[in-house]
Structure 1
Amino acid sequence: MAWTLLVLAGLLEVAWALGLKASEGFTRLWPSLFTVTTMLVSFYLLAQAMKALPVGTAYAVWVGIGAVGTVLLGILIYGDSASPLRLASLALVLVGLVGLKLAG
C-alpha cells in the first residue's frame, strides 16, 4: 500500500509542477488553486508512504517520479528539448529509481 501511495504522490507532483507553469506565477486563480491542492495532497500521500518506507527511498522515488514525469510532459506539452543527452539522463534517473525499489 505504501508504494501505491508513493506513486500517486509522485504523479501528483507532476500535476502540481505543470500547474505551476499554468498558474503563471500564481497570477491565474484556477491553475493556482489546482497547484496548491495537488501540492497538499502530494505531500500528504508522501507522508503516509513514509510511515512504512525508508525516508531516503521514499523521497528519492517521489522526486524521481516528479522529475521524470514533468520532463516528459514538458517535452510533449510545451515542446521542451528532447535531446539525446536529456533523454539518456532521464533513463539514468529511472534506473536509479528501480535500483532503490529493488534495494528497499
Structure 2
Amino acid sequence: MKIIPIIYVSGSAAIDIAANMMLEKSDGFRRIRWGFGAVVLLWIAFALLGQAVKGMDLAVAYAMWGAIGITGTAICGRLFYQHRLKPIGWIGILLVTVAVIVLSVAE
C-alpha cells in the first residue's frame, strides 16, 4: 500500500476529529463561529479524503477514515469534554479498527 494516500486519510481524519470537537463546542450551533468552523474543517477533510482515493480504493480509504475518526473523537471527547463510553462502546471501536485492518490487508 502506498504511503501518500495513507497520509491523506490520516490528515483528513485528524481534521474531522477537530471538526467534531468544534461541533461539540458550538453547542448545537448556538455558538455560530464554532459551528461554522466545524463545517469548514469538514470541507477540508473531505477534500483530503478525495485526494486519498486517487491512490487507494474508496472503501478502504473511507473505512480507515471512519475508524481513525471514531477512535480519535472518543478519545478527545473524553479528554476535553469528560464524555464517557461504556466498555461495550470501546469494544465496538476495537472491532471496527480490526475490521479496517483486515480490509486494508485484503486490498
TM-score (norm 1): 0.87
Count the aligned residue pairs. Answer: 104
Gaps of 5+ in 2: none
User: In the alignment, residue 87 of structure 1 is paired with which amino acid?
Assistant: W
Question: 50, 54, 57: which one pairs with 1:54?
Answer: 57
C-alpha RMSD over aligned residues: 1.5
Q: Counterparts of 2:14 and 2:99 in 1: how far apart (Å)?
A: 17
Gaps of 5+ in 1: none
Check whether the contact 2:67–2:93 (CA below 8 A) recurs between aligned residues: no
User: In the alignment, residue 82 of structure 2 is paired with which amino acid?
Assistant: G
Residue by residue, what CA displacement relative to the aligned partner does 1:79-100 show, whole Å, maximum 9, x if unpaired? 2224322222221122122222
Once the two structures are overlaid, the 10-residue window that deviates more, 6-15 or 92-101, is 92-101
How many percent of aligned residue pairs carry the same amino acid?
A: 29
Once the two structures are overlaid, the 10-residue window that deviates more, 27-36 or 4-13, is 27-36
